[in-house]
Amino acid sequence: MIVIDFTPTSEQAEMREFYRKFAEESVKPLAREMDEKEKYSMELLKEIRQCGFMGIPFPETYGGAGSDVLSYAMCVEEMSRVDASTGLTISVHTSLCAASIQEFGTEEQKEKFLRPLANGSKVGCFSLTEPGAGSDVAAGRSTAVKDGDSYILNGNKIFTTNSGFADIFLVFALTDKEAGAKGMSAFVVERDTPGLSVSPDIPRMGIRAASNAEVVYENVRVPAANLLGGEGKGFKIAMKALDGGRIGIAAQSVGIAQGAIDEAVRYVKERVQFGKPIAAFQNTQFKLAEMQTQVDAARLMTYRAAVAKDKGENYGVYAAMAKLMASDVANIVTRGCVQLLGGYGYAREYSVERMMRDAKITEIYEGTSEVMKMVISGSMNLK
């Protein structure tokens, strides 16, 4: 008989309560204002950094919290329950930028770059997507040409989350234009490097508080010591980072969906129609039951992927499955919750309309649903 224990450890349960308390008391009161201003609060970001949320799964030896990927996923989920932009900010910093340096960096690079990222003194971003290269990562045109003990980096990146306030940029560029994906390399670039410029944030439908901009690299001289993993290893690093990033996006999706249900439950218990709260109607009860079941299923898939990564197992397919299902659930559930609130669900007075807008992006970044299906089907020995 196979026994699977889904009970979190006492430490994980304690940390989850801490994340939830912080989200409710510090993030939620600012969520609507940040969304409307389309700007993240630097004071809130400072609090997040001071609380250690930017280094949850990293070893204490490098300034991290010494916890695990599951605890990190729980943090992203709890933040996203009240504000998806906060969940995304933590996720990109952790899963994409810092985790790549942890896995592929030299000891010198870890001391110089991972430590400040893990202890929260610096924020990281992931500069991969280009105007003409989204899901087709290998179609990127940014270049890095060796020049003595440096590389000269040129290119344009777009939709770079955290770029408005990031200190450390993980940038992907071709060191061999003729080799395609095998010629891609990864570089750690510091914000104050001459030639690096960040545009104003791109106006967006959802996650409007998160910083997301175009970054231009014009003759940026990067020390060869900042090359991550060696020449030609960039594509591998990017794909590995996206595998881990999908756990964060799945957790974000679960958080958005759960947050919408929480808001809907509060509303239907207060809203009176035909002489009684609409929560008393079986149709309402059944709809909420169905949605909560979908969210719990997505949560379990997300946790499975996180635990697999913690155990050093091959988690890529689990992460793709979790991201595929959770992002779908986030969109279905947020639309359902808006419908339950009726006209009020469409009004900005209630947060479910923001959650519905935020949910859409979860089906797009870290790979579209079609990309997730390719990853999953590729593991099924169909050929």
Q: Tell me the two tokens of residue 46.
A: 């400072």
> How many C-beta atoms lie closer than 10 Å to residue 255's C-beta?
32
Catalytic pick among 313, 363, 366, 370 = 366
Q: Please, are residues 96 and 126 in contact by the beta-carbon 8 Å criterion?
A: yes
Quick check: 215 and 198 in contact, CB under 8 A? yes
Q: At what angle do helices 234-270 and 352-360 cross, to 10 degrees?
A: 160
CA distance 129 to 158: 6
Reduce the DSSP state of residue 373 to 3 states and report it: helix
Q: Is the dihedral of CA 335, 340, 345, 351 positive or negative?
A: negative
Q: Report phi then psi at 152, rounded to 5.
A: -100, 115
d(CA 163, CA 157): 10
Q: What is the DSSP string of 297-322?
A: HHHHHHHHHHHHHHTT---HHHHHHH
Instruction: Please confirm, yes or no, whether 366 is among the known catalytic residues.
Output: yes
Contact of 34 with 40, CB cutoff 8 Å:
yes
**Which strand (E) or helix (H) includes residue 32?**
helix 28-37
DSSP structure class, residue 133: B
Active-site amino acid positions? 366
